[in-house]
Structure 1
Amino acid sequence: MRKEGRAISDPSRDHDLVVYGASGFVGTLLADYLATHAPDDVRIALAGRSRGRVEAVRAGLPERARDWPVLVADSTDAAALAALASSTKVLATTVGPYARYGLPVVEACARAGTHYADLTGEVLFVRAAIDRCDALARETGARLVHSCGYDSIPSDLGTLLLHRRAAEDDAGALEEAELLASARGGFSGGTVASLLGQLETVVGDRELRRVATDPHGLSPDRAAEPAPAQPADAARPSRRRDGTWVAPFVMAPFNTRIVRRSNALQDWAYGRGLRYGEVMSCGRGPAGAAVAAGVTAGLAAFAGAVTLPPTRALLERVLPAPGTGPSERTREKGWFRSVVHGRTARGRRYTVTVAGQGDPGYAGTAVMLGQSALCLVSDTDRLPDRAGSLTPATAMGTALIERLRAAGHTYDVAPA
């Protein structure tokens, strides 16, 4: 069922929204989601480096998408990217790994004043995009919004909702917040390629490793960040007071940086001393303890294997290849639930629950990126007055939360 609404179109642009990477695994899911849910007046085009592959994807979409224009642009062709960015109000890209292919796309959008949304979970790519494109985008008015999928919308919007409820209650600044993640889903080859690339890069470069491991590595003003230490990204297995065992969450080293950037971009409105961390919920009792220990050992073994060429080569042979992903059945049976627990300076406690059906990295992410792109197209007059290199919370905030609720995702906040 399509969400009703009117696109705020730019008559100087041929399109309202371009899906770049439409022939990839996640790009195809996004195109299908938009073909089902985008309002009829949103002018959508599909783009990629191969016209034939994009046309084949279009042929498999619902009937209303059969006349969507197909555009061709390779990420190494600056002129083609400039023309692509200039043709649309919003560009949503699924072309990764972003560190390898993404920077020219971000820069083309920044120069054209085109709003941009991606799915990256790569700290070093976002840092490079900030350094190269933030000032330019602020001049042109482009909103460059990174991480509009499971990385990192539940974390970012959940913490924003926590802050707003505490502010409404005059409960004081946030001092601590922790996200407990639980989910069922699969991995695609693109996700694996991004993860392997990041780990390999930081192993071989001390300066990049310093940036990647800095808890405030994405801050707009690193020197101004508050002194309190942040929770470890890879905490040891432990049991919470309610009996739940937790383990390191594989996405914490990225999501936490996005949340802290959101706080800093809003002049640390959440709280200058906020300590924010993320862990994975593993269940209770002996079974939960065993899962927590297994997850911790598995993540450590994976990180170690990537540093050695022979084991890395083996991983690349046995893990999903780029362009592949979980089956439709796996995507349908998936789900996610992220619970953010927060405490304020006045001792008030709140819990925010962000949840949804469908594999979080694919079915859920198609909803998140699709609604993010539509939010940038249609909700311009409701968005925060910001441009530059932004996060979902600072670029779209409440408008996106409302869209995702309407799309079937849960965003609930309550006193704890």
Structure 2
Amino acid sequence: MAAREFDIALFGATGFVGKLTAHYLVEAAPAGARIALAGRSLEKLAAVRAELGPLAAEWPLVQADSTDQESLNALAARTKVVVTTVGPYLRYGFPLVQACAENGTHYADLTGEALFIRDCIDRFGDKAAETGAKIVNSCGFDSIPSDLSVYQLYKRSVADNTGELTDVTLVAFLKGGMSGGTIDSIRALVEAVAEEPAKASVMAHPYSLSPDKSMDPDVGRQSDQALSRASDIDPSLDGWVATFIMGAHNTKIVRRSNGLLGWPYGKNFRYKEVMSAGSSAASPLVAAGIAGGIVATMATGAVLSRVPLGRKLIDRIVPAPGTGPDEKARRNGWFTMRTFAHTTSGAKYKCTFAGKGDPGYQATAVMLGQAGLCLAFDDLPELAGILTPASAMGDALTERLRAADITIEVTPA
């Protein structure tokens, strides 16, 4: 690795989130960091570099295409870390993971696609472990707040000697939009299941990303669907909670972290995520609308995705990939994730993971950028293969994000 030409190569630097990540790396990268911008068009890459100012004026440009395995192999061989924003990953991501796994190159992405991760585990996990590559999925708002919150709750329970984690629930409070890229990723998942219905089991099973099926805890049914009073989770909460659209993915990442770390969270660890519907008199109706709307939208999407006319209709309705809100809207966004944990001794804790900026854009660029810097420059555990943020970078990434003005705090509840 020391002989590699670059510390970080940002693949997809001309896309919406790619540009935001490039701007963040200009601010956050240490002096002397060797950063390259990679993508299909050298002309577009040069235009992005010109927007970044004098600190990035000498950043190299690398032409690479997700459909050209040779170009991706060459990119991976030149750099310590590849950070990629090129999705949907089910459509475009596999060749780059293969290149990084074979070349022993660390990797970070933004995927919220469980089918993609499951296939990466099966196809490239052994090779990545053999070469020492850390392939780290879901390094944005999905799923770093979830993964690091539970990891830090576990660390606090160990430090206090209060036993293993039992029931843990994350409650999401946020203001922000959903990107065209995120919607396109959800659509890719829906279409993949429509083409191969057997894949629905990966989406539905809470332990479908488990590293060892024989070690899965037997804690009964765990559902990602929610509609309940917030006070049922913790007395400090008001109003109602509903299904959190990314909970189905985030919970799988958290459970995979538990497995990769050797199941330290506990044999009775149960985890779910919900979204606050507010505390107004209308919050029960809002919560019901959220929960029902998600189910209806996914079902309608599954039906429409089966026929060409339906897919054309979806194209006309949903935001296009690579689009997003303007700077003012991104700046006005925020998120607060409160995770409530019980332990076997009866102790209760709360982890607050909070930050400013639209979670799907501004905050995601910070998280992805810091994940890339962490993989490139920090002293990390030797664990390699298809990993999660907590298993690959838990403590180091936590400290980086705290230094980047993100609150990560565990307190007694």
Mark yes or no: TM-score above 0.5: yes
- Displacement of 1:280 in angstroms is 0.3
> Which has the higher mean CA deviation after the structures are superposed, 295-304 or 270-279?
295-304
Match of 1:307 among 295, 302, 305: 302
Q: Distance in 1 between matches of 2:229 and 2:279?
A: 11
Correspondence 1:149-164 to 2 at 5 A: 149-164=140-155
**Aligned match of 1:29:** 20
Distance 1:292 1:311, change over 3 A: farther
Distance 1:377 1:230, change over 3 A: farther
- Displacement of 1:144 in angstroms is 0.6
Q: Distance in 2 between matches of 1:408 and 1:290?
A: 35
Q: Distance in 2 between matches of 1:348 and 1:311?
A: 51
Q: Distance in 2 between matches of 1:281 and 1:86?
A: 45
**Aligned match of 2:94:** 103
Q: Distance in 1 between matches of 2:340 and 2:179?
A: 30
Q: Distance in 2 between matches of 1:273 and 1:317?
A: 46
> Which has the higher mean CA deviation after the structures are superposed, 231-240 or 86-95?
231-240
Percent identical residues? 51
TM-score (norm 1): 0.95
Q: Distance in 1 between matches of 2:279 and 2:227?
A: 16
Match of 2:182 among 159, 173, 191: 191
Correspondence 1:9-408 to 2 at 5 A: 10-241=1-232, 242=235, 243-309=238-304, 312-379=311-378, 381=379, 383-408=380-405
- Displacement of 1:203 in angstroms is 3.2
Letter matched to residue 258 of structure 1: I
- Displacement of 1:265 in angstroms is 0.8
Unpaired runs of at least 5, structure 1: 1-9
Asked whether the equivalents of residues 46 and 71 of structure 1 are also in contact (C-alpha less than 8 Å), the reply is yes
Asked whether the equivalents of residues 119 and 151 of structure 1 are also in contact (C-alpha less than 8 Å), the reply is yes
Letter matched to residue 172 of structure 1: G
- CA shift digits 1:160-203 (9 cap, x unpaired): 00000011111111011000001111122211110111122223
Distance 1:239 1:378, change over 3 A: closer
Q: Distance in 2 between matches of 1:72 and 1:143?
A: 23
DSSP 3-state at the match of 1:413? strand
Mapped pair 1:410 → 2:412: no
Q: Distance in 1 between matches of 2:228 and 2:298?
A: 17
Letter matched to residue 291 of structure 2: T
> Which has the higher mean CA deviation after the structures are superposed, 319-328 or 170-179?
319-328
Q: Distance in 2 between matches of 1:321 and 1:153?
A: 25
Q: Distance in 2 between matches of 1:185 and 1:179?
A: 18
DSSP 3-state at the match of 2:82? strand
Asked whether the equivalents of residues 240 and 246 of structure 1 are also in contact (C-alpha less than 8 Å), the reply is no
Asked whether the equivalents of residues 227 and 240 of structure 2 are also in contact (C-alpha less than 8 Å), the reply is no
- CA shift digits 1:118-150 (9 cap, x unpaired): 000000000011111111111111111111100
- Displacement of 1:231 in angstroms is 2.7
- CA shift digits 1:308-337 (9 cap, x unpaired): 325553332122111211111110000011
- CA shift digits 1:41-65 (9 cap, x unpaired): 1100000011111111111112211
Aligned residues: 405
- Displacement of 1:376 in angstroms is 0.8
Q: Distance in 2 between matches of 1:92 and 1:42?
A: 14
- Displacement of 1:286 in angstroms is 1.7
TM-score (norm 2): 0.96
Letter matched to residue 384 of structure 1: P
> Which has the higher mean CA deviation after the structures are superposed, 293-302 or 78-87?
293-302
DSSP 3-state at the match of 2:360? coil
Letter matched to residue 392 of structure 1: P
Q: Distance in 2 between matches of 1:88 and 1:222?
A: 34
Letter matched to residue 292 of structure 1: A
Asked whether the equivalents of residues 8 and 81 of structure 2 are also in contact (C-alpha less than 8 Å), the reply is yes
Q: Distance in 1 between matches of 2:407 and 2:221?
A: 28
- Displacement of 1:213 in angstroms is 0.8
Letter matched to residue 96 of structure 2: V
Q: Distance in 1 between matches of 2:221 and 2:11?
A: 36
Q: Distance in 1 between matches of 2:331 and 2:111?
A: 23
Distance 1:230 1:179, change over 3 A: farther
Distance 1:311 1:78, change over 3 A: closer
Asked whether the equivalents of residues 338 and 350 of structure 2 are also in contact (C-alpha less than 8 Å), the reply is yes
- CA shift digits 1:282-308 (9 cap, x unpaired): 112422212212211221221122023
Q: Distance in 2 between matches of 1:39 and 1:119?
A: 23
> RMSD between aligned alpha carbons?
1.3
- Displacement of 1:230 in angstroms is 4.5
Letter matched to residue 357 of structure 2: G
